[in-house]
Structure 1
Amino acid sequence: MSTAETVARKTPDATRAQSGPPSGAQRGYRTLWRWHFYAGLFVMPFLVILAITGTIYCFQPQIEPLLYPHRLVVEPAASPRLEVDALLANARAAVPAGAVATTARISSRTDRSAEFVFRLPDGHKESVYVNPYDGAVLGTLDVDSRFMQVDRMIHRKLLLGKPGELLMELVACWTLVMIGTGLALWWPGENASLRAALVPDLARRGRPLWKSIHATLGIWLAIGAFAFVATGLPWTGSWGKQFKALATSVKLGAPPGSWGGLALHSTVPGKPSAAHAAAGHETSSGMEPMPGMTMDDMPLPQVPWAVGAVRVPGSPEAGEPGVRPLPLGHIVEQMRAAGLVDGYDIALPTSPHGVYTVSYFPADPTLERTVYIDQYSGAVLRDIRYGDYGAVSKAVSYGTSLHMGRYFGVPNQIVCAALSLGLAALAVTGFVMWWKRRPSGTLGAPSRERAAPPMRAWATALVVLGIVFPLMGLTIVAVWLVDRLLLRRAGPVAAS
């Protein structure tokens, strides 16, 4: 430990009295630093988790075949592929009696197996993989225990359910505060050069070296990291859902009809049609859509953000005897004729009034597509495309594709990984700086300014952030109160 660090640890009050903001720093520096400190202290461990899990998930297309090669990968054969209904029958024979087929993954790749998802009698979901050339069952995987699904759930909610989802939403919001205050702190002042802000001084040693690396890395990452965090917020469990509802209410979000008004269900032959029921005539079964059930609730791996709030049909009491739904193969051929041949999922109808729900979520958001098909007649009930989205949903769709590293392929994945790991590096370097500066037995928060300026712009930014993100607003108030009431006499250090 250096002499200066020893003195700082033993006599923090004297250090505070002699220390001030860095040369040329603007008034309000310590106030910004204090908020930067609180934001960083909270988000540091979670940023590392988000960075690792996000980077892994970004490379899902490359990683999963390596994890499950005997299930996902097959040797291309010269013989034609078997009919999808024959493959589904083989998959059904491999699961316990009473299991219900819920989803089919449609792929035209010659080196990939066919995948079908079943809901087992005990409630678990299981994927069954079948060789498309000879029909052999290659194996099964528990959907919720699949590596990438676990990684995704850690990334979204730390495997803690709703509380974890809210916590990670707060982490994202406070990361925005950390980025904003960090940029304001380290942006070169009147007497500093731009080069000094953009290039770390590797000649330094100890904490000054870590500070230089932390500052320059933060400036290089600031814009990309801000966009990276912002594009993930629409998918959060609390604010994201509210944002989607607001966008829809002002006709800038989901397609028309997403919030009711369109009865999407298969019409059993011999029973009144949806249009007939909508005109005021009830069906003999008294079928009504299940309240609150949306596309986000469907047994699909992922659906486009814009259609997540689209309501789906409920279940009737019974269908007409002798009426048989169309086979899955018919739907696949129908979608092929409509231009979809690869990389989409079909949620299978599990009730007489259920529909085939086709969800196409490609890398290019302009190609996104959601189709509802009557299971008896094959009639297309709705075909929702990118052109049907509102302005907000179009922007979110592009942001999502970029955030997940899908839009530009491998280069996009590399950029996302660099941003993720860069944020993790900021967390690590910030922690090291704090640990080297922190006096033993104290939190080590930066000292307050003796005569802090009003900083109306900063206060306004916090208020706006709290209004836009209400959960964030509550924590801003909580941090302010704790800082004012509990940490006033905590003896924070002032080393810059």
Structure 2
Amino acid sequence: MSVPFQGPAPAAARAEVRPSLREAVYRAVWRWHFYAGLICLPFLILLAVTGALYLFKPEIDATAFAHRTIVTPAGTPLGPDRLVYNAMQAVPDGVPVSYTEPGSPTASALVTMNVGAEKTLVFLDPYRGHVLDAMPAAQEFSGVVRRLHSLTLFGSVANRVVEIVAGFAVILVVTGTYLWWPRGQRGGVVTLRETPRRRVWWRDLHAVTGLFAGAGLLFLALTGLPWSGWWGQELRAWSNAAGLGQPRQLWADRPVSGVPMRAVLNEPGWTMQDAPVPRSQPQAAPAIGLDRAAAILRDMGMPAGFELALPLGETGVYAVAAYPRDVTAQRMVSLDQYTGRPLVDVHFGDIGPVGQAIQLGIGLHKGEFLGRANQLAMLAFCLATILLSVTAGVMWWKRRPSGRLGVPPLPRDRRVMAGVTGLVLGLGALFPLTGLAILALIGLDLGARALLRPRPLRPAGQTS
């Protein structure tokens, strides 16, 4: 009678088990990396190209569109009232809704007009009052680039896709880091092997680029998520309810309307989008007027280039926002339209820690906060993202079987695949729309495997 072995497994058996387990985990992670890339790559290229363009919005406006954004200083600028009047003459069927102060002595002024359900932008020379250009806001170059970047150009449903892609980008970085991790190989960690004619060269270029760009891609995904339609709105609502975002105490004991700041200002900032617009107290005295409101704001030290929304109705206010490239100088003010008294004055330091962190992240994301270095760093991450996408596409093309998708093979141990899938679902749970997309992928994967699984042959002569 044999006696069962009760001690530890022999060294040879342990050595055999470990590599097979590592291989199974590697295949499972690779499969999810492939699926995440399959979904993300077209969108990542679009986001990287449009993001790179938007980084240089000031430079593009000052060169390609200098005819409407750059002026020659000549004496004392005209008052906002006169400029708005000139804009109304140029767009007689429009209603002025906001005035944007020139951001520098050589910058034009901007008046936004409502024409029916659409907005029209009127650019004016602040010294001579000439209308430099008038165009639908939907056609302005930087606005189109921005809406392409968020996919809001195609509607609110398309904007949800960006949220899904951002969640998958996080999964791409995490799984890609595991796949890159050195396992004794000499090449493909920080150096390239072979030549561009070989797939291994493209694999190494993809891995090495990912090593240097992965952190940047992760940062861009996480700092872009607050602007997403569902996740960003929920985060803002939670931070405001917890007192970590919008400073609600500044609105205490003040009459407010049911209109959110995002409805009257083009750039109310992430934290203040849902803040209610205060109400003026109607008086017998006339409103102070746009010229006086702008002068009060300058005396208050508002940064140059502020946007000033005109009062809506007898209880409306002069709602003002300034979002300069220095994030810490951001400020939002509401003036009583009859007295000019500040009803609300919110500095960057007044908002909660979550709001501050997100505003800083957005400033870095847009390349605005740390000058040219920030701008160039974000550009490098955008270019690296394009390179990662291209190399991934070439690798896939070179390895895929003819006429097939080329999904990485499943590990033999299905428990490993289930464990890795559970971890991926855990990451997806942080971004619910991504989590739902992961569940849909799992369903498609299981369905495809069931359809492609070979059916057992019936014994000869057996009938159903």
Specify the TM-score bucket, using the shorter chain as the normaliser. Answer: 0.7 to 0.9
Residue-by-residue CA offset, 1:330-367 (whole Å, 9 max, x unaligned): 11111111112412111111211111111011222221
Residue 443 (structure 2) aligned to one of 470, 481, 493: 481
Distance 1:357 1:414, change over 3 A: same
State how far apart, in whole Å, the 2-side matches of 1:23 and 1:459 are.
18
1:32 to 29, 33, 38: 29
How far did 1:185 drift?
0.7
Partner of 1:297: 263
For the Cα contact (< 8 Å) 1:35–1:181, is it kept in 2?
Answer: yes
1:490 positional shift = 4.6
Distance across 2 between alignment mates of 1:264 and 1:60: 38
TM-superposed CA distance for 1:66, in Å, is 2.0
1:364 equivalent in structure 2: 326
Q: 1:471 to 1:315 in 2, by over 3 A?
A: farther
Q: Which has the higher contact order (CA 8 A, sep 6+)?
A: 1
Contact (CA 8 Å) 1:315, 1:351: kept in 2 or not? Answer: no
What one-letter code is carried by the residue in structure 2 that aligns with 1:450?
R
Mapped partners of 1:490, 1:416: distance in 2? 44
Q: Secondary structure at the match of 1:231?
A: helix
**1:309 and 2:274 equivalent?**
yes
Residue 253 of structure 1 contacts residue 390 of structure 1 at CA under 8 Å; is this kept in 2?
yes
Q: Tell whether the 8 Å contact from 1:442 to 1:490 is kept in structure 2 after alignment.
A: no
Greater mean alpha carbon deviation, residues 25-34 or residues 141-150: 25-34
Distance between the aligned counterparts of 1:458 and 1:388, measured in 2?
A: 43
Choose which of 237, 242, 252 in structure 2 pairs with 1:250.
242
Listed one character per residue, the Cα deviations across residues 426-452 of structure 1 (whole Å, up to 9, x for unaligned) are 111111111111112221101101015
Letter in 2 for 1:192: Q
Query: Counterpart in 2 of 1:192?
Result: 185
Q: Write the letter of the residue equivalent to 1:390.
A: G
- The alpha-carbon deviation at position 200 of structure 1 amounts to 2.2
Aligned residue for 1:13?
Answer: none
Q: CA deviation at 1:455?
A: 7.2
Name 1:88's counterpart in structure 2: 84
Matched with 2:60 is: 63
Aligned partners of 1:127 and 1:141 also within 8 Å: yes
Structure 1 residue ranges, 4+ long, deviating more than 3 angstroms after superposition? 21-27, 202-205, 260-265, 313-316, 452-461, 487-491
Q: Distance in 1 between matches of 2:125 and 2:26?
A: 64
State the one-letter code of the partner of 2:273.
Answer: G
* 1:123 and 2:117 aligned: yes
Q: Contact 1:182 / 1:218 at 8 angstroms: preserved in 2?
A: yes
- 8 Å CA contact 1:24, 1:192 repeated in 2: no
Gaps of 5+ in 2: 1-17, 454-464
Query: Offset of 1:204 from its aligned partner?
Result: 6.1
Task: State the 1:180 CA deviation.
Answer: 1.1
1:303 is paired with a residue of what secondary structure? coil
| SS of residue paired to 2:97 | strand
Deviation (angstroms), 1:377: 0.6
Q: Check if 1:170 corresponds to 2:135.
A: no
Aligned alpha-carbon RMSD (Å): 2.5
- Mark the CA change 1:255 to 1:479 in structure 2 (over 3 Å): closer, same or farther: same
Report the equivalent of 2:336.
374
Within 1, Cα distance between the matches of 2:424 and 2:438?
A: 8
1:134 matched to 2:101: no
Matches within 5 A, 1:216-235: 216-235=208-227
Distance 1:432 1:377 in 2: 65
Normalising by the residue count of structure 2, what TM-score does the alignment of the two structures yield? 0.88
The change in CA–CA distance for 1:22 and 1:420 in structure 2 (over 3 A counts) is farther
Deviation at 1:202, TM superposition (A): 5.0
**Deviation, structure 1 residue 76:** 2.0
Q: 1:418 aligns with which of 371, 374, 380?
A: 380
CA distance 1:407–1:481, change in 2 (3 Å):
same
Q: How is 1:377-456 mapped onto 2 (pairs within 5 angstroms)? A: 377-452=339-414, 454=416
1:28 and 1:452 in contact (8 A); partners too: no
What TM-score do the two structures reach when normalised by structure 1? 0.82
User: How many pairs does the alignment contain?
Assistant: 436
